[in-house]
Structure 1
Amino acid sequence: MSGFFYVLDEEARILFVDDDPILREFAQVNLASAAAEVDVAADGIEALDMLSRRRYDLLLVDLEMPRMNGFELLARLRSDPETAHLPVIVETGREDVDAIDRAFRAGATAFVTKPMNWRLLSYQLRFTLRAARAEAALRDQCRAAVPVAA
């Protein structure tokens, strides 16, 4: 039997976007660690406001929210060059084919269903963060290799 350890052991800023205040609280308790910081937003509008003031490494976004839902938020994120490559994991109670297809077409990186297994989700976040950072490093290498036109 091994002791408890934090899965998210690399520095990360995570924004959890969900209209359920209890889930927002659970996200902060279950996903935050000494290295990983978790902020919360109640809907897409609040999330965009927070993104305008701070850089995040990953977003967890519910689909069904008032004011601006997850589909609209994904569309806004993907249309902005600053957030076009930001990893976004959709977390929702919906698991119908339409919701899954719409989320990935809108730009979701991954999809998890509620109720959430917080431990499993932590591992998914760790993997998604590592993949996104590797992809960003490759993009930077490609930009550096392309000569700038005078």
Structure 2
Amino acid sequence: MKNILLVDDLGIDVMLTRLALQEFAFDHQLVVASDGAEAFEMIREQRFDLLLLDIKMPQVDGFELLARLRAEALAGMPVIVVSGSGLAADRERAQALGVDDYVQKAVDYTGFKRELKAALVRQGCPAG
């Protein structure tokens, strides 16, 4: 069973991501953190197989969390950024911080599910 940490501050995005993951029928347990600070503490205390990370959050954003993980040598897990930002600069910054994939949140739920599933499969989560 994959232990996945989802870090997102918007309840609707958490709900949609959770729904998409359930529809994929991956063997996983989803744990949710509402910001980067909470996620950092969870990662220090528990092992996760995959991190799904929003980058635009108040207080500790995804970029800062990635930098903290790298500084503490906790960056060993695959990271998929799941962001509403389509800016090339955000994608490039995330890649420079070592993310494994970048999925843009979309108004089109079907497109979002397709992109998220492809990113998960690339990270070794077998499709159900």
**TM-score of the superposition, structure 2-length normalised?**
0.83
The aligned amino acid for 2:94 is: A
- Larger RCO of the pair (alpha carbons < 8 Å, separation 6+): 2
1:16 and 2:11 aligned: no
Partner of 2:58: 66
Structure 2 residues not aligned, in runs of 5+: none
**In 1: Cα distance, 2:115 partner to 2:56 partner:** 22
Matched positions, count: 119
Match of 2:81 in 1: 90
| Aligned AA (1:91) | V
Q: Is the 8 A contact 2:36 2:65 kept in 1?
A: yes
- Structure 1 stretches of 4+ with a deviation exceeding 3 A read none
Q: Within 5 Å, give how 1:1-150 maps onto structure 2.
A: 11-32=1-22, 33=25, 35-81=27-73, 83-115=74-106, 117-129=112-124
- 1:117-140 Cα offsets, whole Å, 9 max, x none, are 22441232122136xxxxxxxxxx
Q: Structure 1 unaligned segments of length 5 or more: list them.
A: 1-10, 131-150
**RMSD across aligned positions (CA):** 1.7
Structure with bigger gyration radius: 1
What's the TM-score, normalizing by structure 1? Answer: 0.71
Secondary structure in structure 1 of the residue aligned to 2:123:
helix
